[in-house]
Amino acid sequence: MCKFFFSYLVVFMSIMSVIAQQQNAICPILPNPVTYVKSNPGSQSGTLSVNDTLFFSAKELTPNVKSQLVYFGGLLQGLTLIESERNASITFKKQVNVIPDSYSITIADKITIQYANDAACFYAIQSLMQLIHINNGEKTLNKGFVADYPNYKWRGLHLDVSRHFFTKEEVKRFLDLMAIYKFNVFHWHLTDDQGWRIESKRYPKLTEIGAWRDSTVKDHYSTKPRTYDITKYGGFYTQEDVKEIVHYAADRFITVVPEIEMPGHARAALAAYPNFSCTGNALPVENLWGVFDDIFCAKKETLDFLKDLLDEFIPLFPGTYFHVGGDEAPKTRWKKCSNCQEVITDNKLKDEHELQSYFIRQLDEFLTSKGKKLIGWDEILEGGLSSNAAVMSWRGFEGGIEASRQGHEVVMTPGSHCYFDHYQGKTKEEPLAIGGYTPLSKVYEFSPISPNMSATQASFVLGGQANLWTEYIDSFDKLMYMAYPRAIALSQTLWNPAKKPSFETFEQLLIENHFPILDQLKINFSRSNLLPQQHWSSHKQGLKVNFSSKKENDLFHLTIFQSSDSGKKFTKEIMLQNKQDLIIDRELDSPELLVNVHSEHYGFEQQVKIIPHKALGETVHYLTSPNKQYDSGKLTLVNGQKGSRPWKGHEWVGFDTSTVALRITLQKKRRIKEVDISFLNEPGSWIYSPKKIQLLNPDGRKKLDRTVSNENGQERIKIEVNRKVKNIYLYISNWEEIPEGNPGAGHVPWTFIDEIFLR
């Protein structure tokens, strides 16, 4: 440690003595490095021009790192890099006794890169390429100094290739981008209900049958009636393909962690080998998204089959960790299966949760005997965590907190911050996603270490990861749209959380330095974070909307239409300065208002639809608190914007209690004809429309008690009022528990509301 500081100090002081310098200058590299010093800012002598052909001296570099230098120099900057001792403008020097993976770059009249190991040298190459900027066609570098090293060991991205398949070349492009942003773990989700994607020579039917489905559900799976694309869909990687990808990743200092899902999400495998299920029934590879009851049977024959498979796949993946899934395994079949019940009895297990724990323990022992380490989703905690297992915490931070308390390694990947299959923008223009709302700013806030962990617990946290589940990601372009720029925000929080720039500075770096890189690489990334932000608030007349742009002097052109069944009628055009307000009147006599918002600077168009009603912008009191993750603000219920279908997290208010009480207070007493409430009924996501809605004593004096029962899951409930009221008090009762045989059986169902119209 001391030697490290000493050697850095020497390099650091040598520049300090030669040139004036600016500390705390903003460095264009993302993830932003630990130290950056810019010399002679703004002056001619402060820059170094960079020729398109560069010579480098690299006696100690491995052939691979040299070829990565040539590859990424060409890819990112169009440079030709040639090894030559004599006229080298870049010199590489290996250091000893320094922080693992650390590097420094000194840019004076020449460039010197010092590095701890090959990975560090690779990171230095990525940073150097990001430091080069182009001015009037000329490439230059600011003179200065970078010293850098990563904070977390596990900086991961996951890719589900089962729901949609990505070719070998697409996976390689995915890995290239990961490498540019210094990720080092590729979690490859190779098997699931909808397709088995890795060749087994011992069990060839896994790909002959399991890699292909006859059809695929269209639209969001909650859209009814469901329609299907009747096209055979699938694909798989041969073992040679797998070796090639693992090698390609390793060359970029990325470890591949394979995932073979068990005991749940096994329908593709069971389509090929139904004898490893509980019922033995032949079922097709699944064409719908969700959680399915037919999982691997816990009998010995299945465990032997899975061990055979692991044994076959282990040599393909040189990394330490092997992911065995473990999530979302309904116990419906196990409860009725005589084989499973026999395993429970023979092993003196308490229930099916302990059976799952037994199942995972068998595989843990097997993997450990082969020198590997088992990792699984946080459900592997249920029924007891097996001794060597590492936990990937996805249902929040709690699983990771508990695993670290028990002394197990943890990778944090909570849905709240790390699920890149969620929406990242609030506009209607966002492409179809599974649901949820995880904008760039939310990802940037992420920390894998929870404040509820002790220092000892924190020491078990390996790092974090974002997951790209691909039910709704059916092309490489859409994959890039969902992954970028959110992955860059994640890379920052994992690489250098201690000194990460403000979110505003990060966004500025993205826009000025990194969107051009992604554009040049022809990556279809999302620009949702550039869209004008809308800030909604209550106003005495109804609602106030403030449109703000990242460009200070942006102008907004608003085109307003009123629409009804008979069509759309132009009303007016308004020009708003950045951050000016628009007032929407609750008394407006129009069924619907459409506002098109066009930002002059960014050229984007957004559309806002508002349905005026008597409670628009009025006060909502929660007598039951919503779940924090789905508390999009009280105004959500009375902002004139109905939560859309398929549902998007930010548009709804979600409660995780079986009863919900709330009150709406109007500014003054008024005649209300009816209350019209919209709920969500989405059993696949554990969301149920409530079974009973009561309207109680709205004004506290005259008793009004009306009850509407809703046993069959209607999403829209109207309750007659027909009197003058100041308060509307709603008491909503959902099921105590999700009924048996449904996803999430036994849990309290979610209640999602938006909007509550008063007419």
Alpha-carbon distance of 721 to 292, in angstroms, equals 43
Q: Which is nearer to Zn ion, 355 or 758 (CB)?
A: 355
Token duo for residue 370: 């082969």
Tell which one of 36, 253, 322, 394 touches ligand ACM (CB under 6 A): 394
Task: Map tokens 């930002």 to a residue.
Answer: 599
Is residue 705 a contact partner of residue 711, using CB atoms and an 8 Å limit? no
Q: Which is nearer to Zn ion, 254 or 270 (CB)?
A: 270
Contacts (CB under 6 A) with ligand ACM, residues 264-323: none
Range 366-372 contact pairs with CB under 8 angstroms and sequence separation of 24 or more? 366/307, 366/310, 366/311, 367/310, 367/314, 367/322, 367/324, 370/310, 370/311, 370/314, 372/314, 372/320, 372/321, 372/322
Q: Which of 734, 728, 737 is nearest to 756 (CA)?
A: 728
Segment lying near Zn ion (by CB under 5 A), choices 43-51, 200-208, 336-344, 377-385:
336-344
Q: Which is nearer to ligand ACM, 147 or 217 (CB)?
A: 217
Token duo for residue 395: 């249902």
Specify the DSSP class assigned to residue 254: -
Task: Map tokens 């709690």 to a residue.
Answer: 398
Segment lying near Zn ion (by CB under 5 A), choices 74-82, 330-338, 414-422, 497-505:
330-338
Q: Which is nearer to ligand ACM, 72 or 322 (CB)?
A: 322
Token duo for residue 278: 């509980």
Q: Which amino acid is at 203?
A: Y
Phi/psi at 144 (nearest 5 deg)? 160, -160
Task: Map tokens 């059993």 to a residue.
Answer: 683
**To the nearest whole angstrom, how small is the minimum distance from the Cβ of residue 567 to ligand ACM?**
44
Token duo for residue 21: 């310098």
**To the nearest whole angstrom, how small is the minimum distance from the Cβ of residue 340 to Zn ion?**
4
Size of the site for ligand ACM (CB under 6 A): 4
**To the nearest whole angstrom, how small is the minimum distance from the Cβ of residue 746 to Zn ion?**
20
Tell which one of 337, 374, 675, 728 touches Zn ion (CB under 5 A): 337
Q: Which is nearer to Zn ion, 219 or 342 (CB)?
A: 342
Token duo for residue 139: 């490439």
**To the nearest whole angstrom, how small is the minimum distance from the Cβ of residue 329 to ligand ACM?**
10
Size of the site for Zn ion (CB under 5 A): 5
Tell which one of 206, 340, 392, 530 touches Zn ion (CB under 5 A): 340
377 binds ligand ACM (CB under 6 A): yes
Is residue 449 a contact partner of residue 401, using CB atoms and an 8 Å limit? no
Strand order in the sheet with 47-49: 47-49, 138-142, 133-135
Q: Which is nearer to Zn ion, 79 or 278 (CB)?
A: 278
Q: Which does 327 bind (CB under 5 to 8 A by kind): ligand ACM, Zn ion, none?
A: ligand ACM
Q: Which residue is nearest to ligand ACM (CB)?
A: 327
Alpha-carbon distance of 330 to 337, in angstroms, equals 13
Alpha-carbon distance of 451 to 397, in angstroms, equals 10
Q: Which does 657 bind (CB under 5 to 8 A by kind): Zn ion, ligand ACM, none?
A: none
Segment lying near Zn ion (by CB under 5 A), choices 292-300, 566-574, 630-638, 713-721:
292-300
Token duo for residue 46: 């402060």
Quick note: the x/- pattern for Zn ion over 548-567, rule CB under 5 A, is --------------------
Q: Which does 655 bind (CB under 5 to 8 A by kind): ligand ACM, Zn ion, none?
A: none
Alpha-carbon distance of 589 to 587, in angstroms, equals 6
Q: Which is nearer to ligand ACM, 274 or 290 (CB)?
A: 290
Q: Which does 394 bind (CB under 5 to 8 A by kind): Zn ion, ligand ACM, none?
A: ligand ACM
How far, CA to CA in Å, does 577 sit from each of 55, 339, 547, 551? 51, 70, 9, 11
Q: Which does 303 bind (CB under 5 to 8 A by kind): Zn ion, ligand ACM, none?
A: none
Query: Which residues contact residue 712 at a Cβ distance below 8 angstroms, ignoring those fewer than 6 apart?
Result: none
Q: Which is nearer to Zn ion, 296 or 481 (CB)?
A: 296
Catalytic positions, written as ranges: 192, 265, 328
**To the nearest whole angstrom, how small is the minimum distance from the Cβ of residue 259 to ligand ACM?**
10
420 binds ligand ACM (CB under 6 A): no
Q: Which is nearer to ligand ACM, 286 or 328 (CB)?
A: 328
Q: Which of 418, 399, 408 is nearest to 464 (CA)?
A: 418
Tell which one of 37, 159, 297, 523 touches Zn ion (CB under 5 A): 297
Q: Which is nearer to Zn ion, 160 or 352 (CB)?
A: 352
**To the nearest whole angstrom, how small is the minimum distance from the Cβ of residue 346 to Zn ion?**
13
Q: Which does 241 bind (CB under 5 to 8 A by kind): Zn ion, ligand ACM, none?
A: none
Alpha-carbon distance of 650 to 636, in angstroms, equals 9
Contacts (CB under 6 A) with ligand ACM, residues 542-561: none
Counts of helices then strands in the chain (DSSP H, E): 19, 41
Is residue 418 a contact partner of residue 471, using CB atoms and an 8 Å limit? no
Tell which one of 339, 513, 596, 665 touches Zn ion (CB under 5 A): 339
**Helix (H) / strand (E) containing 77:** helix 63-77
Phi/psi at 582 (nearest 5 deg)? -120, 130
**To the nearest whole angstrom, how small is the minimum distance from the Cβ of residue 419 to ligand ACM?**
7
**To the nearest whole angstrom, how small is the minimum distance from the Cβ of residue 413 to ligand ACM?**
8
Is residue 420 a contact partner of residue 487, using CB atoms and an 8 Å limit? yes
Q: Which amino acid is at 535?
A: H
Tell which one of 327, 477, 605, 676 touches ligand ACM (CB under 6 A): 327
328 binds ligand ACM (CB under 6 A): yes
241 binds ligand ACM (CB under 6 A): no
434 binds Zn ion (CB under 5 A): no
Tell which one of 65, 175, 190, 278 touches Zn ion (CB under 5 A): 278
Segment lying near Zn ion (by CB under 5 A), choices 19-27, 270-278, 352-360, 465-473:
270-278
Is residue 390 a contact partner of residue 259, using CB atoms and an 8 Å limit? no
Alpha-carbon distance of 244 to 233, in angstroms, equals 24
Q: Which does 259 bind (CB under 5 to 8 A by kind): ligand ACM, Zn ion, none?
A: none
Asked if omega into 755 is within 30° of 0 (cis), the reply is yes
Q: Which residues bind ligand ACM (CB under 6 A)?
A: 327-328, 377, 394
Q: Which residues bind Zn ion (CB under 5 A)?
A: 278, 297, 337, 339-340
